[in-house]
Amino acid sequence: MVSPFGGGHEQVVFCQDEQSGLKAIVAVWSTALGPGLGGTRFYPYADEHAALADVLALSRAMAYKASLAGLDLGGGKAVIIGDPRRDKSEARLRAYGRFVESLNGRYYTACDVGTFPEDMDVIARETSYVTGRTTAHGGAGDSSVLTAFGVFQGMRASAEFIWGTPSLSGRRVGVAGVGKVGRHLVGHLIEDGADVVVTDVDPRAVDAVQAAYPSVKAVADTASLVREPLDVYAPCALGGALDDETVAALSARIVCGGANNQLAHTGTEDLLSQREIVYAPDYCVNAGGLIQVADELDGFSFERAKARAERIYATTLDVLHRAKDEGVAPSTAADRIAEQRMREVGRLRGVWLP
């Protein structure tokens, strides 16, 4: 099948096990810097084409994310088609683990939407190429912790770029999606003195955030949130959050969130630029989770992983300044930095070592 994103993937594998009901797709964009590492998304896609489109886009983004974060990893991603609340089972996860094992280390899996560290423990019974396991099994645990921390660092850098200070104190930040990453991000923002307004499709997630942080305001939905007077908008749910209607409604000066693939189409960033809204590229600022689970491959140290995630501040600031100096969109500047590292460091993999 031809990729709708112009090709470029090293490997795309369709996985099916009729007895367990498993239907999955694994995509590896590049192994120039190392094995592809990316989470497994368990999601009720409308059909196989929708699942394929998602995994192709996500795996490419993971390659760029790993490169920009300075990791010796390539880009990969997997999707399992189904409703995790109804279809997830030990048999299905273990069948998936055997497919991951069959790739012989070209792809390492971890958590994503619909999967959790406990699921990685089950998958690990069939493959050694898994990370993001529970702390009880020596793993990194919930990767949303450092994902949120990294997004906060990217937001601080964006504030420094726009307002000359790396603080969100007194700024109004809208967070769309507070189930995992968004919930932790709210904590960092409140601690920094920000005024926070949130929304989520699950009212229980909103209730939990407001119970922990009573000053947080909630609105009915994302359409209402983007029409609020905001300084910063943080999309932290699924991709495609920045469509034409959303961009037109935004009052925020900064968009910086944890969701992957936030731009609805290739022209979205031009629309943001026309409205003088600074976009911190999602794969730049949300790399903290990847950094967290990647650290597990060397024996997990939270403090070491957090120190590396803290560098997202400097990386984001570099991306924004390069974009300004070169007269390009921030995502173009970020792509150039990532691609340069893939070329220069990836080239060394061709040097034979006895």
Residue 181 marked ligand-binding: yes
Range with the poorest average pLDDT among 5-9, 134-138, 143-147: 5-9
- The reported pLDDT for the residue numbered 351 is 65
Query: Is the predicted pLDDT of residue 353 greater than 70, yes or no?
Result: no
Q: How confident is the model at residue 141 (pLDDT cuts 50, 70, 90)?
A: confident
Q: Where are the beta strands (DSSP E) in 71-180?
A: 74-81, 107-111, 172-176
| Residue tagged 């034409």 (tokens) | 244
- The reported pLDDT for the residue numbered 6 is 45
- The reported pLDDT for the residue numbered 142 is 85
- The reported pLDDT for the residue numbered 261 is 85
Mean pLDDT rounded to a whole number for the chain: 94
Bridge partners (DSSP) listed for residue 17 = 22
Identify the helix (H) or strand (E) that includes residue 204. helix 203-212
Catalytic residue among 23, 65, 77, 88: 77
Residue 319 marked ligand-binding: no
Angle between helices 288-295 and 302-310 (to 10 degrees): 150
Q: Contact at 8 Å (CB) between 75 and 66? A: yes
Residue 324 marked ligand-binding: no
- The reported pLDDT for the residue numbered 38 is 94
Instruction: Identify the CA nearest to 309 among candidates 130, 143, 170.
Output: 143
Longest Cα separation, the chain: 62
Q: Contact at 8 Å (CB) between 238 and 259? A: yes
Residue 23: active-site member:
no
- The reported pLDDT for the residue numbered 180 is 85
Domains of the chain: 11-63+74-139 (3.40.50.10860), 144-286+316-338 (3.40.50.720)
pLDDT in tens, 193-236: 999 999 999 999 999 999 999 999 999 999 999 999 999 999 99
* Burial environment of residue 25 by CB neighbours within 10 A (0 to 12, 13 to 18, 19 or more): buried
Mean pLDDT for 259-274 is: 91
- The reported pLDDT for the residue numbered 122 is 98
Measured distance CA(123)–CA(49) in Å, rounded: 25
Q: Which amino acid is at 117?
A: P
pLDDT in tens, 71-103: 999 999 999 999 999 999 999 999 999 999 999
- The reported pLDDT for the residue numbered 216 is 98
Instruction: Identify the CA nearest to 183 among candidates 258, 287, 281, 280.
Output: 258
Residue 100 marked ligand-binding: no
Model confidence, pTM: 0.89
Residue 178 marked ligand-binding: yes
Output the CA–CA distances (angstroms, integers) from residue 20 to 12, 79, 102, 114, 247, in the order listed. Answer: 21, 16, 17, 18, 43
pLDDT in tens, 168-201: 999 999 999 998 899 999 999 999 999 999 999 9
